[in-house]
Structure 1
Amino acid sequence: MKRILSKDLLAHYIAKHNIENIFDKEILEYAQLHFYEKQEYILEAESNLEYYYLLVDGKIKISYLFENGKSMLLKFYKDFNTIGDLELLKNTPILCNIDSIEDTYLIAIPSDILRKKYFDNLKFLHHLIASLSEKLYATINNSSYNFVYPLINRLSSYLVEHITEKSYVVLKPSFIEIAQFLGTTYRHLNRTFKELESKSIIKCENKIIHILDEDRLRELSKNLYIKSL
């Protein structure tokens, strides 16, 4: 991790993401800009939350670590988001491992400062409630959908969510990342892509997926995923 000392860049991200709607200027005086290189650890499960983070640029991966050493991918975030809501409120150790997937910029505010000086601020509390509610909804939605529907429905839903106006999808994440997100293996994902191709619903050209029959793809999708990849 590198701390970026540029006040102009910090101010740019604060303005870009309307962060003054979350924090008053008094608290933003404590804000720092942290930079993490691709594939660098940001937070490690069971450690203490030193900073409350706001993702302002880049992409991160969130994984839950089990006692047997295995981990389960929960989310990818690439848009503005916050890290550490629950740990900040409950003052508990970090629940998940968080890694940077791309070069990533985070605004960091010391968690101790927020607990001591800002827990009675209604604007910030409303933000925490909204953030936690959205994350809970997304987790329940994706987890239940992965449990109930076969992969062909889940993959169709993922593709529908990412269709452009030109009727194709450019897969920016790796196939392994997509497989983890959909709760399957790389091989099963590859077979399901081929099944959709055999039905003349899509055509794959490397990481560009051409949508040949959008109506049938939407019929298979059943529901829509949250945009997390």
Structure 2
Amino acid sequence: MKKIINNDILMHYFIKHDIEKILDKDIINYSKLHFYKKNEFILEAESELEYYFLLVDGKIKISYLFENGKSMLLKFYSDFISIGDLELLRNKPIQCNVEAIEDSYLIAIPSEILRKKYIDNVDFLHYLVNSLSEKLEATINNSSYNYVYPLINRLASYLVEHITDKKHIMIDSSFKEIAQFLGTTYRHLGRTIKELELQDIIKCDNKIIYILDEDKLRELSKNMYIKVL
């Protein structure tokens, strides 16, 4: 991790993400900009929440760590999002590992400052409620979908969520990470991609997936889209 000592860059992100609507303008006096390289841990499970983070640029993944040492990938985040909502409110150790999967910038705010000065701030509390609600909804949606539907439907849903106007998808995560996210193995994912290719629904060319038949893909997705957030 590297601390970026540049108030102009910090202010740029404050303005870009309208952070003053969540916390008043004085919070910038307590905030620092942290830079994390790809594959670097931002938070580790069971440690104390020293900083409350706001992802302002980059991409991260959240994984839940089990007692047997295994982990389950929960989500990817690539847009503005807060990290540490639950731990901040309950003042308990961090529950998940948070890792940068590409170079990422996060605004770090000391958790004790937030607990002492902002825990009764109506705008901040409103943001926390909305943030937790959205994360809970996405988790329930994804977990239920992974449990009920076969992989071909889950993969179709994942692809539909990423379709662009140009009818192709640039895969910016590894296929191993996508397999974890969809609750399957790398090999099973590969077989399912081949199955969709044989049906002329998609064509996979390295890290680009071309959508050949969007109607069939949407039909397979069951209109239940895997939320990456």
Q: Same fold (TM over 0.5)?
A: yes
SS in 1 for 2:46: coil
SS in 2 for 1:45: coil
Which residue in 1 is equivalent to 2:104? 104
TM-score w.r.t. structure 2 length? 0.97
Moved over 6 A (4+): none
Counterpart residue type for residue 58 of structure 1: G
1: CA distance, partners of 2:72 / 2:225: 21
- Structure 2, unmatched stretches of 5+, are none
TM-score w.r.t. structure 1 length? 0.97
Shift, 1:105, TM fit: 0.7
Is the Cα–Cα contact under 8 Å of residues 39 and 102 in structure 2 kept in the other structure?
Answer: yes
Q: Which moved more, 1:155-164 or 1:6-15?
A: 155-164
Is the Cα–Cα contact under 8 Å of residues 75 and 228 in structure 2 kept in the other structure?
Answer: no
Which residue in 1 is equivalent to 2:117? 117
2: CA distance, partners of 1:28 / 1:172: 32
Shift, 1:135, TM fit: 0.3
Counterpart residue type for residue 88 of structure 2: L
Is the Cα–Cα contact under 8 Å of residues 87 and 94 in structure 2 kept in the other structure?
Answer: yes
Do residues 154 (structure 1) and 161 (structure 2) align?
no
Give a deviation string over 1:176-207, Cα, whole Å, max 9, x none. Answer: 11111111110000000011111111112112
- Two-structure CA RMSD over aligned residues (Å): 0.9
Is the Cα–Cα contact under 8 Å of residues 45 and 94 in structure 2 kept in the other structure?
Answer: yes
Do residues 200 (structure 1) and 205 (structure 2) align?
no
Which residue in 2 is equivalent to 1:54? 54
1: CA distance, partners of 2:162 / 2:154: 13
Which residue in 1 is equivalent to 2:173? 173
Give a deviation string over 1:82-112, Cα, whole Å, max 9, x none. Answer: 0000000000000001111111111011000
Give a deviation string over 1:17-76, Cα, whole Å, max 9, x none. Answer: 111111102222111111111111111111000011000011111111100111111111
SS in 2 for 1:200: coil
Do residues 42 (structure 1) and 55 (structure 2) align?
no
Which residue in 1 is equivalent to 2:16? 16
Shift, 1:116, TM fit: 0.8
Q: Percent identity?
A: 72
